[in-house]
């Protein structure tokens, strides 16, 4: 039997404790991302936006706190899910957010040629690779957190 928590959600496995090598592998991706050319704010925008799309409360909570710590404004955090409708985000950020959405929703139509070509105009090929890897990594973390019903602190 699973233990119920206060929100009527099942207590689920803790992959970090049960399979520590899997977490080490994921942390290896995080270490790689720390050494990329992407700045901290770009990384947090990727993490927040992908987590919004995936509905990962744990990661949204964590990364909005981190973004604030790095100087992100409340207004931009609140408007992130409507970034296309505002001028608050730079051309580079908009390209990053477009990649984030299309890679997160990869089954819909993949990474479009338009989004890819726009990114290549603004970033080097290596930077585009780093953006894609950042999106892939947060999507993996989202899936771990949602599947195991991790709760925000």
pLDDT tens, position by position, 77-103: 999 999 999 999 999 999 999 999 999
The confidence band for 9, taking pLDDT boundaries of 50, 70 and 90, is: low
Residue 104's CATH number: 1.20.1290.10
Does residue 11 belong to any structural domain of this protein?
no
- Supply the Cα-derived Rg of the chain in whole angstroms: 16
Is 1 contained in some domain?
A: no
In a domain, 28, yes or no: yes
153, pLDDT greater than 90: no
In angstroms, the CA 103 to CA 101 distance is 6
Number of domains in the chain: 1
- For CA atoms 72, 97, 42, 135, the dihedral sign is positive
pLDDT in tens, 51-81: 999 999 999 999 999 999 999 999 999 999 9
State the Cα angle at 78 between 75 and 82, rounded to 5°: 110
Domain enclosing residue 68, as ranges: 16-147
């Amino acid at each position: 039997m699973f233990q119920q928590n206060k929100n009527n959600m099942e207590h689920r496995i803790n992959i970090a404790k049960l399979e520590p090598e899997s977490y080490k592998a994921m942390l290896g991706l995080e270490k790689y991302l720390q050494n990329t050319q992407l700045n901290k704010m770009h990384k947090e925008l990727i993490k927040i936006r992908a987590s919004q799309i995936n509905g990962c409360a744990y990661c949204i909570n964590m990364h909005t706190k981190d973004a604030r710590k790095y100087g992100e404004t409340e207004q931009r955090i609140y408007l992130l899910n409507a970034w296309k409708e505002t001028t608050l985000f730079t051309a580079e950020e908009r390209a990053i957010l477009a990649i984030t959405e299309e890679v997160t929703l990869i089954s819909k139509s993949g990474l479009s040629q338009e989004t890819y070509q726009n990114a290549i105009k603004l970033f080097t090929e290596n930077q585009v690779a780093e953006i894609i890897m950042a999106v892939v990594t947060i999507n993996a973390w989202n899936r771990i957190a949602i599947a195991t019903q991790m709760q925000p602190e």
